[in-house]
Amino acid sequence: MRVVAIILAGGAGKRMGAPTNKQFLLLDDKPIIVNTLEIFEECRAIHDIYLVVNQKDLPILQEEILERYKFSKISKIVIGGRLRQDSVRNGLEAIDCKCDIVVIHDGARPFVSPSFIEKSVSLMEIYDAIIPAIPVKETIKVVSKEGFVQKTLERNSLWSVQTPQTFKYDLIIKAYRDGMEKKLFGYDDATFIEYLGKKVKVIEGSPFNIKITTPEDLVIAKGLLSYFKGMI
């Protein structure tokens, strides 16, 4: 059973307000994307990594990441698209090896554990699509464009979705091809599975598995890193 990880590192990072792609900002003296890649490099369940990047980031990727850190599992660098779903589609279509399972992960989530990835892959013996999520703690309200509450959602059924999302390869590539041919929008990768009418299994993720998107997230990430180091 061959498992390919698609790591998405092509976002512009506009919400971070930094002059460079957020993936290349430093976390513990290493770019965020390096922290993420090291986890997948270490994970025994992963055989190949397809790294999806922005065309303009290729020079810094080559000089600051590939030449310096020598990741053995990176099989291919793929150029991303305009939207996240375009980048994932490019990554899926680029897979040219025998592939049974695909693990799709945001490069800006550097706190997923190898054991969690391995758990997700092992559950592919039972399910076709698995996503991690955590129960929502706050009250969620639907608000109009004018800023007025329209309704309050039932919190008990709301979950905040994370990555890595894990799929049978044949199913996820069919879902993406079908969904994008119909010009559907995918809020995440599992959305395209839902469009096919297939079931997606939710397993509990981790509150530590944050996505670093804003300057505030970077502060939290540095605090988490210090916390984890203190546990060693």
> Which pair of structure tokens corresponds to residue 175?
């879902």
Q: Report CA Rg, the chain.
A: 18
CA–CA dist 224, 212 (Å, integer): 12
- In tens, the pLDDT along 145-194 reads 999 999 999 999 999 999 999 999 999 999 999 999 999 999 999 999 99
CA–CA dist 83, 93 (Å, integer): 16
Determine contact, residues 102/62, Cβ cutoff 8 Å: no
User: Is the pLDDT confidence value at 18 over 70?
Assistant: no
Q: Measured between alpha carbons, how far is residue 89 from residues 9, 10, 162, 173 in Å?
A: 14, 13, 19, 8
CA–CA dist 227, 223 (Å, integer): 6
CATH T-level assignment (fold) for domain 3-129+161-231: Spore Coat Polysaccharide Biosynthesis Protein SpsA; Chain A (3.90.550)
Q: Predicted confidence band at 12 (pLDDT cuts at 50, 70, 90)?
A: low
> What local confidence, expressed as pLDDT, does residue 226 receive?
87
User: Is the pLDDT confidence value at 14 over 70?
Assistant: no
Q: What is the DSSP string of 90-117?
A: HHHHH--S--SEEEEEETT-TT--HHHH
Q: Predicted confidence band at 97 (pLDDT cuts at 50, 70, 90)?
A: confident
Q: Where are the domains of the chain?
A: 3-129+161-231
Rounded to 5 degrees, φ, ψ at 189 are -65, -35
- Residue bearing the bigger pLDDT, 51 or 229: 51
> What local confidence, expressed as pLDDT, does residue 229 receive?
74
* Whole-number percent of the chain with pLDDT over 70: 94
Percent helix, strand, coil in the chain, to 5, is 40, 25, 35
Query: What three-state secondary structure class fits 77?
Result: strand
Query: What three-state secondary structure class fits 151?
Result: strand
> Which pair of structure tokens corresponds to residue 150?
């329209």
H-helix segments, 161-211: 169-181, 189-195
CA–CA dist 70, 224 (Å, integer): 26
> What local confidence, expressed as pLDDT, does residue 22 receive?
78
User: Is the pLDDT confidence value at 30 over 80?
Assistant: yes
